[in-house]
Structure formats: C-alpha cells, structure tokens
Amino acid sequence: MDRENRRVALITGATGGLGTAMCKRLITDGYRVAGTYRDKSKLSAWQLEMEKEGYFLDVFEVDVADFDSVGNTIANVEEKIGPIDVLINNAGIARDGVLRRMTKEAWDDVINTNLTSVFNTCRHVINGMIERGFGRIINISSVNAQRGQVGQTNYSAAKAGMHGFTKSLAMEVATKGITVNTISPGYIYTEIVKAIPDEIIRTKILPGIPMGRLGGTDEVAYLVSFLASDEARFITGANYAINGGQHVY
C-alpha cells in the first residue's frame, strides 16, 4: 500500500479485545485507522498501552445505536482523516437471559447496538464508497447467529440479521467496487471469555471445540486484514466461520 496515500479504516468497538487486535493489524498493514468507543473510563489506559506498543490512531466517541450520533462521528472522521474506505462493524453487547424473563429493554439494547448500528454506519458511508468506486465492509457476527444459543434470543437474532443485511447489500453494490462480508467468530480469547472460570472453559467449552482450544484475537484480525485487501476483491456476500470446528455447516 502506498504510504503517502493510505486507505482509511474505521473500526467500531475499537477498544475491546477483538477491536484492539484489528486496530493493530490494520495499522501494521499501512491503513490510517480510526476507532470508536463508548466507555470513557477505559479509554486513557487503552490509548497509553497502544502507544507504548507503537500503535497510533484517532478515536471517536459514538453511540452506534443512534443514527445521528453515527453520522456526526463519521463526518468528523472524514474531516480529520479522510474518506472511509474500510468499515468494520465490530461494536456489540450482550444482555443474556432466557426469553421468558427477558425485558423489552434487554431486547432493544442488543438489537439496536448489534444490528441497527450496522445500518447506521453503512448508510453513512455507502454513497461515498459508491462515488469513489471502492469499499470494504466487514461485519463481525457470531457462531451463535448460525447455531443459536440458550439465553441469547436477542443476541443471536441481531447477529443473524447481520447475515441477511450483508448478503443483500453485497448484491446491491457488487458492480461498484465494494465488497460486503461477515465473519462469525466462536469462542475467542477476549476479556469476556477470560472472565469465565477455568473449570467451565475446561469442562464445558473446550470439549465442544474440535481443535480443543480458544481462538486468538489475532486470528480474527488476520481474516479482517485479508477481506479488506485488494486480493479479496472477488469475495462478497460471504460469511467466514472462525470457530475451530465448533459449528460446521
């Protein structure tokens, strides 16, 4: 990639485990990276650690569930850094609970943060990508969108909705130099998974993964890097499962 004319990548949910790995990988690839966050309490420590490791990027506060908040943030990114060439929809939350006890708030929060956010971001970047004749949109879904999971009707529905959205948008912009794909990770070694007791991981989770291990955030980031590249220009409307064989289809 021409370092004097670097492409711009925007990663939502940049300060989480997966987001951090994606930021590092795309910075290493030569992109100008912008990230979004919502939790201010962890931002300073995260930025300091990133800079200590030699990774520098611009970060922007946003509520991905709010259409106008997303629009304002994307306008700020493009004014400060440049037009967005690569969009990675990584922001997400979980509000788990069986349906018979799930609140309307828990449903709305997850659907809006995990799925409506994808509409919000894509809607604000798609016309610019069409005008420039280039774009990469990568939506981070989940293995539970494919197989379901007890206590996650909201989460699984939102992540499964990403697949339909991705395939339809991919068809709409296939002739415009834009690709749209999803990645569906299984159990990845993030802070959320690290919080699970070792006994549960050893006896309940790992036996269900044929590879017998958790995935690494760097492995997901490498797949993001590939799908963002010029070499992946003939891949669109696809879903990439990265789950160690946990769900094969």
- As annotated, the active-site residues are 155
- Token output for 110: 């997850």
Number of other CB atoms surrounding residue 185 within 10 Å: 23
d(CA 214, CA 1): 32
Helix (H, G, I), strand (E, B) or coil at 11: strand
- Contact call for residues 183 and 242 (beta carbons, < 8 A): yes
Amino acid at 13: G
Give, in order, the Cα–Cα distances in Å from 224 to each of 24, 86, 113, 203: 11, 10, 21, 30
- Token output for 127: 């016309």
